[in-house]
Structure 1
Amino acid sequence: MRNHVWRTGARWLVLGLVLAVGSAQAGQKQVGGVNMPDSLTLQGRTIALAHMQLHKRLFFKVYVWSLYLEEQPRSATEAIASNSVKRLHFRFLRNISRDQLVGSLRAGLQKNPDLRQGPMADQLQVMLASLKDVQKGEDLVITYMPGAGLEIAGGASGGAFIPGKNFADALFSVWLEANPIFPR
């Protein structure tokens, strides 16, 4: 009888722990050991986690990136054209030098010809100049706010702001083309 009571109590304890851990994880998604919330509120606007992915270089885990969108588009073109809140959030899983970070971003973003010359090339330089050496666990957060512009923040950046939508559209265009998440 005593053994039965002990087992029943142990079962309830295990069930309680499972429920507690499950509710602590509710509202989050995990990829590559990184937890990100399912949604965020920025200036009274809610953005939802649309995609999350681990990026590796050879066999090294480099970062996990997340895309948050205020609207749920059907295509990359719709996502870019939408004048709604968009956020790219990078969580670094290893130390990265400023030179490595700048070189990698420059190489990727300059696939868009608009970012190679003219005013947007200058805006790209503003963004790249804000970047710093990154320590494992730090973030780079790139957020477009309608009617304002693109904010670059997080531990990987000294902070920068690029007004308007054109540069943000070019950046998100390159990213979503290189990392397709919508059906083609």
Structure 2
Amino acid sequence: MKKSLLALMFAAGLSAVAPVYAVELSGVVVPEKVVSADGALLLNGAGVRKKMMFEVYVAALYLSAKSSDAAVVLAANTPRRMQLTMLRQVDAASLYQALLDGLQANLSVNQLKELQPKIAELEKIFNEVKSVAKGDVITLDFIAGQGSKVLVRGRTAGVIEGDVFADALLSIWLGKAPVNEDLKKALLGKG
């Protein structure tokens, strides 16, 4: 009995120290929690972005409180993170164009005009990145009252001010015309 209890306590101690992973997709281990500048964020959902027959990246959405409602996530005034782990090499121009296509699909002509300076900042960031390789991580931190912080390979590539643009950027995956409906469902924990 004492040995069983000791073994159980040892196993419990190991699990408390070991990181907890929520899911593995296409060989990418997606952590259950991440730490941002504003505190811990919980994995809301994750999925694989496919284009034609190719897997492009694993997307993971992190929130301070889980939600299965896209409108609630987009309107949230709390920290949010979209983390993209690349599954193949992509040049920056193609990546930027994919983001631009997502913005154009989810925003009106007037919204696009209003956000054009922010979109130009996004283009500049990705022009400086040049390309991303398999295994590279692009992190988009959406910080209420500040805007969007773009990290590539763990380094800050740029910050685009404004909550409106942050919400617009997140609409690429969660808006009325997401890059992929199945990916949207997965990010909202419905997949």
TM-score, normalised with respect to structure 1: 0.78
Question: Counterpart amino acid of 2:160?
Answer: I
1:98 aligns with 2:92: yes
Structure 2 distance, partners of 1:48, 1:158, is: 21
3-state DSSP of counterpart to 1:107: helix
Letter in 2 for 1:176: L
1:47-73 CA distance string (max 9 Å, x none): 111111012222222111110111223
Partners of 1:50 and 1:74 in 2: CA distance: 8
Aligned equivalents of 1:158 and 1:43: distance in 2?
13
Aligned length: 163
- Structure 2 residues without counterparts, runs of 5 or longer: 1-13
Structure 1 regions of 5+ residues with no counterpart? 1-19
Matched, 1:138 2:112: no
Residue 158 of structure 1, CA deviation: 6.5
Asked if structure 1 preserves the Cα contact closer than 8 Å seen for 2:149 and 2:158, the reply is yes
* Alpha-carbon distance in 1 for matches of 2:172, 2:161: 18
TM-score (norm 2): 0.75
SS in 1 for 2:173: helix
**What is residue 6 of structure 2 aligned with on the other side?**
none
SS of 1:117's equivalent in the other structure is helix
1:19-168 correspondence runs (5 A): 26-111=20-105, 112-113=107-108, 115-118=111-114, 120-131=115-126, 132=129, 133-155=131-153, 159-168=157-166
| Segment drifting more, 83-92 vs 125-134 | 125-134
| 1:174 aligned onto 2:172 | yes
1:90-146 per-position Cα deviation (integer Å, ceiling 9, x unaligned): 01111111221121111111221255212x121011012111211111111111112
Larger Rg: 1
Which is worse superposed, 35-44 or 152-161?
152-161
* Contact 2:141–2:150 (8 Å) recurs in 1: yes
Aligned alpha-carbon RMSD (Å): 2.5
